[in-house]
Amino acid sequence: MQFEPINSELGDDNLFHQLLDSAPDAIVIIDNDGRISLINHMTEQMFGYERSELIGQPIEILMPERFRNRHHQHRQAYFAASSTRPMGTGLELFAQRKDGSDFPVEISLSPLQTSTGQLVTAVVRDITERQQARKDLEQHAQDLERSNAELEQFAYVASHDLQEPLRMVASYAQLLERRYRDKLDVDAEEFIDYIVDGASRMQNLINDLLAFSRVGTRGNVLEPTDANNAVMRAINNLQIAIEESDATITHDDLPAVIADSMQLVQLFQNLISNALKFHGDLAPVVHISARHDGDNVVFAVVDQGIGIEPQYAERIFQLFQRLHGKKEYPGTGIGLAICKKIVERANGQIWLESEIDKGSSFYFTLPADI
């Protein structure tokens, strides 16, 4: 049965039709009996019907069976109190093609007053691709989270289980060194030294790797934390290194932030101990300050040491990245990776400003305690 558009104001206007047909969304106009009175070209394409098959049909023909009954009531309610709005806010909406398959849609409704009565325009957008992209993204994020957790678990188990056999290698090599020092030739003594040195470096690596994996797995809650207290505890833990290097460490009065208090100590401790280590010819001088920036606090740990070439400013925060040989400056290249992990876990960022021979300024943000 072929229906003519019920309203000549709509039906006769050529320009109006052209406009509708060039729209990228399906546009369906229904009368107050819920029957389709006008559609555009996109509706035919999207739903697989000929125009003549739809005109005069109840709008429910375009939705899956399972929604049809309830839709009848919704439609009446909309006509009673119509306004321009999205349909089914917060719900997942589906439309049905002629072949019975359904697809996700977004629909916005607007009332249209004409001389012959009230109509409703429904603009229907096929969101299959958008939804698929969102699902892919969600899946990707989940996969990433899982693989991060697995990696963290692996690092933890591996470093934890490696400790014991390594301890054995180290202690027996030391025993050999002590008991057989006079009975072995010079070469053998040198080889034993290498074993002892290698084992002790590996122990440091494993300990640092464990500390790195514990940032994620053994963290405490993020809570209001006094940064002065964290700096004081970090300085206290570094007392011997500070005295040995004759360092001067000062800090301003620091604000409270939202952080894991143990990890905040670890963060300051790593940054200060790097400043103690990479100090160049003069005794280390370190100053710690902070300023508010919106809802965050920006901390600065500033030294006057050997500095870092700006091109390495990002790389040094990665695991095992070091700019110096182990003879020049001992270390594992894990300290700053731990710092980054601590800061990011507490919703902050960390970066560096430095120039060779001009000292380094490490900055990090943490949410202020307000």
Contacts with ligand ADP by CB under 6 A lie at: 274-275, 278, 303, 305-308, 316, 321-324, 331-337, 360
Give the type of residue at 79: F
| Gap between the Cα atoms of 313 and 181, Å rounded | 46
What Cα–Cα distance (Å) separates residue 216 from each residue in 30, 150, 221, 274, 282? Answer: 56, 12, 11, 22, 37
What is the distance between the alpha carbons of residues 295 and 68, in angstroms, rounded to a whole number? 49
How many residues make up the chain in this entry? 370
For residues 230 and 265, the answer to whether their CB atoms sit within 8 Å is: yes
CB-wise, 16 or 329, nearer to ligand ADP? 329
Cβ 141 to ligand ADP shortest distance, Å: 28
Residue 5 or 216: the one with the smaller Cβ distance to ligand ADP is 216
Minimum CB distance to ligand ADP smaller for 297 or for 308: 308
Query: Minimum distance from CB of 264 to ligand ADP (Å)?
Result: 17
Contact predicate 122/100, CB 8 Å: no
Alpha carbon distance 299, 227 (integer Å): 10
Q: Which residues of 86-121 are buried (b: 16+ CB within 10 A; e: fewer)?
A: ebeeeeebebbeeeeeebbbbbebebeeeeeeebbb
What is the biggest distance separating any 2 CA atoms in the chain, rounded to whole angstroms? Answer: 114
User: CB pairs under 8 A, 24+ apart, for 30-33?
Assistant: 30/59, 30/119, 30/120, 30/122, 31/6, 31/117, 31/119, 32/79, 32/117, 32/118, 32/119, 32/120
CB of 85 to ligand ADP, least distance (A): 55
Q: How far is the CB of 230 from ligand ADP (least distance, A)?
A: 18
* Shortest distance (Å) from residue 292 CB to ligand ADP: 25
Give min distance, CB of 305 to ligand ADP, in A: 5
Minimum distance, C-beta of residue 167 to ligand ADP, in the bound complex (Å): 21
213 within 8 A of 159, measured Cβ to Cβ: yes
SS3 letters across 285-352: EEEEEEEEECCEEEEEEEECCCCCCHHHCCHHHCCCCCCCCCCCCCCCCCHHHHHHHHHHHCCCCEEE
Q: Is the CB of 225 or the CB of 269 nearer to ligand ADP?
A: 269
State in angstroms the smallest separation of the CB of 251 from ligand ADP: 16
Q: Which is nearer to ligand ADP, 5 or 331 (CB)?
A: 331
